[in-house]
Amino acid sequence: MVEQTAWWGAIVLPVVLGLFALAAASWDAVGRGGATLPLRSVAGLLVQQRRRTLAADTVLWRTAGIVLLVAAVLAASVVPLGRWVVGDLSVGLVWFNAMEIVAWAAVWLAGWGGNTAFGLVGGYRFVAQGLAYELPHMFVLTTAAIGAGSLRVGDIVAAQQDLWFVVWMPVAFVVYLVSVLAMAFLRPFDQAVGNDLAGGAVAELSGVDRLVFLAGRWVLLVSGAAMAVPLFLGGGDGPILPDWLWSLVKTAAVLALLVWVGRRSPTIRMERFTEIAWMVLVPVTLLQALFVSIVVI
C-alpha cells in the first residue's frame, strides 16, 4: 500500500515541510505582528551579524541548529504522504522516535554553547521537559504499533482501513498531540525558550544560526503533526480526494489545532507538569496500551 519514492522524494520532502512550517509560523503570528512576521524575521536574520559571547563553544553552538533541522526533516522521512514515503523502514516508528530525541541534544547544545547562565538554564529545562513528556509519548507510539502489530508506518496505516486508530485509541491520540507540542517546545511547553529567560536556549543565538534553529523547531512541529496522520487518522484514507491530498489536509488540520491550542494557554512550568505527566499521563497511556493489547489478542 505504501511504496518508497524515487530519489526526488528526498528533495520534495524538505520543501513541503518548509512550506508547512512557514504556514504554521505565520498562523501563529496572526494578531501579534501579523502573518508576514515570520517572513520579515527570516529577511532580518539573514542579514544580521552574529553576536558573540565570551568563551562560547562555537562549534557545538552552531551545530545545534543544523542538528535540530536535520533531525526534524529525517523524522518526517518515514511519514507517508498518501501512498508515497521517502524512507519505508521496517522500524519507521523507532526511527521517528530516535530523531526527536536527537532534538533534545540540539536544544541542550544551543543552551550550552553560548556559555551564558540563561541559555544553560533553558537547555536544562528542555531536558527536564523531555523526562516529563517522553515516557507517555513512547507508550503512545507503542500503542499504535501494538494496534497494527508492526513498527512499519505503512503497516500502521494499512491496519486502519476499517477503523481509524483515533476512534478506539482516543487517549493515545490526545496524549500524542500534547507530546508533539512538548517536543517542539512550542507554547504551552516553551519554557526552554521562555520570556523569563529572555529567550532561554536561544537567548544568544543570532543571525543565520538563530534562523536555522527556529526553522528546525517549526519543522519538528510539522513532522510531529504529520506523523499523527498515519498513526491515528488513517493516513491518506478518505473519500473523493486523492490520498496524498488527504494526507496534506489532515496534517494542516492537526497543525492548525496545535498552534491554536498553544496560543490559548500560558507556559506550563515543568515543576508543575511533571507531576501530571507521571501521575496521570503515564498510567492513562499504559491503560490505553493494555486495552489495545487485549483487543488485538
Partner 1 sequence: MPGGVPMADRAEDRDGLMLDVLHVPLGPVLPLWPAGLIVHTRLQGDVIQEATVEVVGSPGVSFWATEDRGLARRLDSHSRLLALAGWTDAAVEAQRLRDDALDGTLSDARLQKWTRRVCRSRTLRWLLAGVGTVSDGPLAGDALTRLHSPPAKGPHETQWILDNLPAMLAGTELATARLVVASLDPDLDLLAHHGAHHG
Phi, psi of 260 (to 5 degrees): -65, -45
Among 197, 212, 225, 258, binds partner 1 (CB under 8 A): 197
How far is the C-alpha of 153 from the C-alpha of 55, rounded, in Å?
A: 44
Closer CB to partner 1, residue 83 or residue 263? Answer: 263
Count, residues near partner 1 per rule CB under 8 A: 27
Residues 57-116 that bind partner 1 (CB under 8 A): 115
Closer CB to partner 1, residue 83 or residue 269? Answer: 269
Query: Which span sits near partner 1 by CB under 8 A: 68-76, 88-96, 192-200, 247-255?
Result: 192-200
Among 5, 191, 285, 288, binds partner 1 (CB under 8 A): 191
Among 48, 58, 206, 267, binds partner 1 (CB under 8 A): 267
Query: Which span sits near partner 1 by CB under 8 A: 40-48, 175-183, 212-220, 259-267?
Result: 259-267
- Single-letter code of the amino acid located at 194: G
Closer CB to partner 1, residue 35 or residue 198? Answer: 198
Q: 2-16 b/e with 16+ CB inside 10 Å = b? A: beebeeeeeeebbee
**Lookup: cell for 217:** 523547531
Among 27, 124, 164, 168, binds partner 1 (CB under 8 A): 124
250 binds partner 1 (CB under 8 A): no
How far is the C-alpha of 201 from the C-alpha of 222, rounded, in Å?
A: 21
Q: Check: CB of residue 282 under 8 Å from CB of residue 139.
A: yes
> Cα–Cα distances in Å, from 32 out to 26, 91, 100, 198, 294?
10, 41, 29, 18, 48
Q: Check: CB of residue 119 under 8 Å from CB of residue 201.
A: yes
Reduced to 3 states, what is the DSSP secondary structure of residue 3?
Answer: strand
How far is the C-alpha of 107 from the C-alpha of 101, rounded, in Å?
A: 10
Query: Which span sits near partner 1 by CB under 8 A: 68-76, 163-171, 189-197, 283-291?
Result: 189-197
117 binds partner 1 (CB under 8 A): yes
CB of 281 to partner 1, least distance (A): 16
137 binds partner 1 (CB under 8 A): no
Distance of CA 257 to the CA centre of its chain: 14
Among 254, 268, 281, 289, binds partner 1 (CB under 8 A): 268
Q: Check: CB of residue 270 under 8 Å from CB of residue 128.
A: yes
Residues at the contact surface with partner 1, assessed by CB under 8 A: 31-32, 54-55, 115, 117, 121, 124-125, 187-188, 190-191, 194-198, 263-269, 271-272
